[in-house]
Amino acid sequence: MMDLSALEQRGVVDAAGSAAAVSRALAALSEIDLLRLRALARLRSRGLPHGIDWSDLLNEALARALDGSRQWPVGVPFLVFLAGVMRSVCDEFWRRRRREAELIAFGINTEADGADVACPAADQERVLAACEAVAAIYRLFAGDPVALCIISGLANGQSAEDIRVLHGLSPVDYNSARRRMRRALMRAELAGVAP
């Protein structure tokens, strides 16, 4: 790895100096460090929507570090710095998703305060992707009628109590089915067939 003594002597590192240091540190990474970086990116990218994978996340983090928009603080190990940049990229993505969801659900934008904002209405591709995801969930639980009842109830906006009363489920049966559903979804995600 790179010697930071020159950076530490300067104290505050400007964007150009940070980008140059990132470039040198990146070139000096060993095979093991590259594997660690890949593993960090894979870990951080779990749970992101389909179409965004670990390589996209890693490339975005590297681009931000190299263009100087994210500066490498003095005394912070390089892999720790890149892990933080990846975490920030993921957080930014989810904040943007929440804002879009608020726009769609409530027609408001908390940041725009009434400014004209184009509504991100669902296009055909997003509708198709959503339909495919729902169909995959129903296929995953085809052999579990209790799980299908719970999914239908949740899709209709019913509370847990309403679903239990409507389908004659005890609290234990309901909670057991929810745990089965959660485990099945986790297994499907690990197998790479998650909806």
My answer on whether 133 and 91 are in the same domain is no
pLDDT tens for each residue of 164-191 = 999 999 999 999 999 998 888 888 776 6
My answer on whether 92 and 134 are in the same domain is no
Q: How far is CA 32 from CA 26, 36, 120, in A?
A: 13, 6, 42
Q: Domain span at residue 60? A: 5-103
My answer on whether 66 and 130 are in the same domain is no
Long-range contacts of 155-163 (CB under 8 A, 24+ apart): none
Q: 186 near 128, Cβ under 8 Å?
A: no
My answer on whether 60 and 135 are in the same domain is no
My answer on whether 79 and 139 are in the same domain is no
Number of domains, the chain:
2
pLDDT tens for each residue of 44-91 = 887 777 677 888 889 999 999 888 888 888 888 999 999 999 999 888
